[in-house]
Amino acid sequence: MLDVKASSGGGVAGELGRSLHTRSGRSFDRRTRLSFYNRTFKVICIASAIFVCLILFSILFLMGRTGMLTFNEVSVAEFFFSTEWVPENEQYGALVFISGTFVLTALTMLISVPISVLVAVFLAEMSPRWLRTLLRPVLDLLVGIPSVVYGFLGMTILIPVLRDITGTNIGDGLLAAAIVLTIMVLPTISRISDDAITAVPKKYRDASYALGASRFQTIVKVVLPAARSGIMYAGILGMARAIGETMAVVMVIGNTPQLASALFQPTAVLTSNIVMQIANVPFDSTWNYALYMMGFLLLLISLLMIVAIRMLQRKGAVS
Amino acid sequence: MSAESKSAFASRKGWSHKRNQLFTMIVWAVGICTILFICGLLFLILQKGLPKLSLDFLYGLPSEIDPGGGIGPTLFNSFYVLIISLLISIPLGMSAGIYLAEFAPDNTFIGFVRICVEGLASVPSIIFGLFGIAIFVEVFQVGLTILGGAVSLAFLNLPVLTRVTEEAIRAVPSEMKNASFALGGTHLQTIRRVLIPVALNGIITGICLVAGRAFGESAVIILTAGVSTSGEMWDFSLFSPGATLAVHLWYVQSEAIVPDAAEIADKAAAVLVFVVLLINVLFRLPLLLHVRRTR
C-alpha cells in the first residue's frame, strides 16, 4: 500500500514539475490537451456503461421477440400447461421442463443450504485461525472450477455409485443432478454466508456470552439471525447459479422429456433441453422459437431474483 | 437459593453443555468432511489424468474414430477464445466500472444502470449462447465461429468486470484521491496514476475470476462456436469453428464414439482443472505476497 502511494505521489509531482517548467510557452496547450483527454475519457466511460445496459436490453428484446413468435402457432395454455413435448408432431408443451427446473432447484437448495450454512459457521466461528486462512482461498478456488468438470465427475463417479445403491441400471435423474449442483453451489453459498457471519459485530456475541449463553445458543439465536439477510443473499445467488446451470445438469439428468415422478427417473430441465436441441433445428421454425421462449423464461426468472436481492438489501439497509 | 432450584439449574446447564458439544462436533464434522470431499474429488481428477499426460496428447489432433486422439486444437482454441474475449471485455468492463465509481451522479438513472449491470451478471450463460446464435448465425450469417464464441463470452464477462472494477475503485481511501487533486492532478491523471494502481489488486483478482470462468465455460461455446474444430493446429482464423477444451470434454464424454473416450475425457478434465487452478494461483500469488510485504 505505502509504496504505491509514494510512487503515484511521485508521478503526480513529476507532472506538476513539468507543467511549471513549460509554463511560459505551452501552458495553454497543455491545459486544453489535458481537458480534452479528460473529456474524451469520460465520454468513453459513459459509452461503455451505456453499452453494458444496451446488451441487457438487446438480449431481453431479442429473446422476447423470438420467443413470442412461438405463440403464433402454439397457444399459451398449451405451452405452459401441456406436458407433451413432441416437436416432430407440432406439440410444444414445456411444462415438463419448467417444473423440472423448479423441482431440481428446490431439491438442490434443500440439500445445499443447510450444509453450506454449517460450513460457513465452521469457517467463521469455530475453526482455528490458521485453518481459516488456509480454507478460505481453497473455497475461492473451488468457486472457479468449470461446471463441465462437475458434470464429468457426476457422470463418471456419482452415477455408477447411484446405480449400485438403487440396484437398477438407471442412475441419472433429479437426485444425481441435485447432488452435482449441490457440490457446485456449495463453495459459493458458504463463502458469502461466511462473510456475512464474520461481519456480525463482535459486541453481539459478547453480549450473548455475558448473559450466560453457550456457544450453540449464541450462534443459533444471535449470530445467525443477525446475518440472516447476508445468508439469504448467498442462497439466492446459489439458486440463480443452479437455475442457469447447463452443462453439469445435461450430463447427469438423462435428457428425456417426461415428468419426473421419482428421484431416479431421467427427465429434463429448461437449460438442458435448450442445449441439446438448439443445434439441430432451423432458426425460423416454431421449434426454435419455443426453445427461445424457454430461454426467455429463464431470463425472467434470473432477473426476478436480482430484484429480490435488491429488495433484501434495501430492507437490510433500513433495519 | 434453595437446593431444588440449584439442582434444576445444574441439570439444565448440563443439558445445554451437551447440546453445545454436540453442535460443535457436528459443525466440525460437516465443515471438514465437505471441504475434504470436494477437494478430494478435484484431487482425484488430477491424479487420474495428469500422470497419463504426454506431449502427443496435448499437441495432437483429435480423432473421431481411431484411438489415440489428442486435444491440441481445442486447447489452443481455449486460450485463443479466452484472449480475444478478454481483449474485448477488459477495456469495456473497466471503463464502465470507472464511470460508475467516479463520474456517475447519484440519481435514479444511475441506480437503474446498476440494476442492469447486476441483472446482466446473473443472466444464465446459456442465454448468452442463444443471444450469440441470434446475432452471429442469424443476423451476420457467419455460422459457428471462434469470433462469435469470443464475443458472446466477452458479453458474459462484462458485467462481472464492471462490478469488480467499481468496487475496487470505490474501496480506495479518499485521502489518496484528495492528495492527488491537491497536487493539481486532473481527474484522468488521478484515475490513471492513483486509483487504478491502488485498486489493481482487486481488479486483477476479478480478471482471474473471469478468465477462469471463460476458460471453463462450455454452454456458450457449444451454442456459438460449435463442438468441432477446424482440425489443424495454430489456426488463427477468426471464422473457423472453435470448440474449446471444456466443450471437447463434454463431447468426448457424452457424444463421441472413439474407443478410448473415457481415457481422453480423464486427461482432458485433468488439463482443464490444472489450467484453471494455474490461472487463479499464478496471478494471485504475487499479489498475495505483495500485500503481505507491504503490510
pLDDT tens-digit readout, B198-226: 888 888 888 888 888 888 888 888 888 87
B185 touches chain A (CB under 8 A): yes
Average of pLDDT values for B40-46?
87
Tell me: the pLDDT tens digits for A74-89?
888 888 887 788 877 7
Q: What residues of A are in contact with residue B92 (Cβ under 8 Å)?
A: 48, 51-52
Q: Mean pLDDT across chain A, nearest whole number?
A: 82
Question: Among partner residues A47, A217, A246, which is closest to B126 by beta-carbon distance?
Answer: A246
Question: Among partner residues B98, B116, B194, which is closest to A56 by beta-carbon distance?
Answer: B116
Global pTM reads 0.83
Give how far A261 is from chain B: nearest CA, Å.
Answer: 25
According to the model, what pLDDT value does residue B224 have?
85
Q: What residues of B are in contact with residue A57 (Cβ under 8 Å)?
A: 116
Q: Which of residues 190-229 of B touch A (CB under 8 A)?
A: 190-191, 193-194, 197-198, 208-209, 212-213, 215-219, 222-223, 227
Helix H segments across B171-260?
174-182, 187-190, 196-216, 219-225, 245-254
Q: Which of A263-267, A313-317, B287-291 has the highest mean pLDDT?
A: A263-267
Taking 50 as the threshold, does the pLDDT of residue A158 lie above it? yes
Say whether B183 and A55 touch across the interface (CB within 8 A): no
Give how far A27 is from chain B: nearest CA, Å.
Answer: 14
Taking 70 as the threshold, does the pLDDT of residue B260 lie above it? yes
According to the model, what pLDDT value does residue B1 have?
43
pLDDT category, A4, cuts 50, 70, 90? very low
Q: What residues of B are in contact with residue A61 (Cβ under 8 Å)?
A: none
**pLDDT greater at residue A1 or residue A71:** A71
Tell me: the pLDDT tens digits for B114-130?
888 888 888 888 899 88
Q: What residues of A are in contact with residue B194 (Cβ under 8 Å)?
A: 8, 12
Tell me: the pLDDT tens digits for A170-213?
777 788 889 999 999 999 999 999 999 999 999 999 999 999 88
In chain A, the residue whose alpha carbon lies closest to the alpha carbon of B152 is A55
According to the model, what pLDDT value does residue B235 have?
72
Say whether B20 and A138 touch across the interface (CB within 8 A): no
Question: Among partner residues A56, A115, A141, which is closest to B30 by beta-carbon distance?
Answer: A115
B60 touches chain A (CB under 8 A): no
- Name the burial class of residue B60, with classes exposed (0-12), middle (13-18) and buried (19+) by CB atoms within 10 angstroms of its CB: middle
Contact pairs from chain A to chain B, CB under 8 Å:
295
Question: Among partner residues B115, B133, B216, which is closest to A310 by beta-carbon distance?
Answer: B115
Tell me: the pLDDT tens digits for B60-116?
777 766 776 777 888 888 888 899 999 999 999 999 999 888 888 888 888 888 888
According to the model, what pLDDT value does residue A318 have?
56
Give how far A39 is from chain B: nearest CA, Å.
Answer: 9
Return the residue in A45, A193, A274 with the most chain B beta carbons within 10 A, the one to mutate for interface testing: A45
Say whether A49 and B100 touch across the interface (CB within 8 A): yes
Question: Among partner residues A16, A214, A240, which is closest to B20 by beta-carbon distance?
Answer: A214
ipTM of the complex: 0.82
Show contacts of A196-205: CB within 8 Å, 24+ apart.
A196/A120, A196/A227, A196/A229, A196/A230, A196/A231, A196/A233, A196/A234, A197/A120, A197/A121, A197/A124, A197/A125, A197/A223, A197/A224, A197/A227, A197/A230, A197/A231, A198/A124, A199/A227, A199/A230, A200/A226, A200/A227, A201/A226
According to the model, what pLDDT value does residue A1 have?
37
In chain A, the residue whose alpha carbon lies closest to the alpha carbon of B31 is A119
According to the model, what pLDDT value does residue A113 have?
92
Which residue shows C-alpha cell 469488480? B164
